[in-house]
Amino acid sequence: MRIGRVSPAAALALAQREEAVLLDLREPAAFARGHPAGALSVLFSPRGLGLRARAALPPGAAVVLVAPDEGTGEAAAVQLVEAGVAVRGILEGGSEAWRAARLPEAAVSEVAVDELPRLAEVATVVDVREPLEWATGHVPGALLIPLGRLREAIPSVPRDRPVVAICEAGVRSCTAASIMAAAGLEDVAHVPEGSSGYRRAGLPLAYPSEEVLAR
């Protein structure tokens, strides 16, 4: 399977016409440092990429892939097409070419786990894990919205304060942050160390028996 290449200018035009979404397959840390504005972060994996991409994308959306290399882009395209996602092409030259063309970029702030107790008082912490994961302990005051429900739940996320996304290991939270930013939330960050890092740091945890789950 050979997928065509799309120039940065053509990819931008497709995105502006809402004919494709830029799907960034790079590591969350690279995405956070800088990515095409409006792109969604879905880390490449050899399996299961199609399901994760469909959970992140608007229904029926086609994509242009932002890949770290050609092999990753081609492998991702195969999975996505098999999952029913229309692939318009792979961004020619990747994120470096986008930056060189001086096209709009964005970044995602990263929050260290030891900052969360303070930030939880002034920001909305959105935990995008599944309920079974949430039950093992979560940041006190956090809002549970599993990643698969996030897009439909965005209207319920407060817009008058910063939003910090967290998951277990910093991958889904980066996806969540990208979804919320693309939906127009202006002050969005994520926690690279995730809930696992929060637990290792020995920080305070809350449990579902003590709080009402978000519905």
pLDDT one-digit tens code per residue, 31-44: 999 999 999 999 99
Q: What are the domain boundaries of the chain?
A: 5-106, 109-210
Amino acid 175: pLDDT: 98
- Quote the CA–CA distance of 138 and 112 in Å, as a whole number: 15
**Residues 128/153, Cβ–Cβ less than 8 Å:** no
Q: Are 160 and 178 in contact (CB under 8 A)?
A: no
Distance CA 76, CA 70 (A): 10
As its CATH architecture, domain 109-210 has 3-Layer(aba) Sandwich (3.40)
- For the chain, give the number of residues: 215
Contact between 182 and 144 (Cβ < 8 Å)? no
CATH code for 5-106? 3.40.250.10
Instruction: Give tens-digit pLDDT for 119-178.
Output: 888 999 999 999 999 999 999 999 999 999 999 999 999 999 999 999 999 999 999 999
208 — pLDDT class (breaks 50, 70, 90): confident
Which residue in the block uniquely carries the two structure tokens 């940041």? 139
Q: How confident is residue 107, by pLDDT bands cut at 50, 70 and 90?
A: very high
Question: 140 and 208 in contact (C-beta within 8 Å)?
Answer: no
Task: Inform me whether the pLDDT recorded for 209 exceeds 80.
Answer: no
Residue 3 pLDDT: 86
For residue 213, name the pLDDT band (cuts at 50, 70, 90): very low
DSSP 159-214: SSS-EEEE-SSSSHHHHHHHHHHHTT-SSEEE-TTHHHHHHHTT---B-GGGSPPP
What distance in Å separates the CA atoms of residue 161 and residue 173, rounded to the nearest whole number? 18
Mean pLDDT, the chain, as a whole number?
Answer: 94
Eight-class DSSP state of 138: B
Residue 117 has pLDDT above 50, yes or no: yes
pTM: 0.94
Identify any residues that bridge with 147 across adjacent strands, giving them in sequence order: none
Same fold across 5-106 and 109-210: yes
Residue 210 has pLDDT above 80, yes or no: no
Q: What is the pLDDT of residue 69?
A: 96
Q: Which residues contact 25 (CB under 8 A, 6 or more apart)?
A: 42, 43, 44, 65, 66, 67, 68, 72, 73, 76
> Which residue, chain included where needed, has tokens 């942050």?
177
Residue 52, pLDDT > 90, answer yes
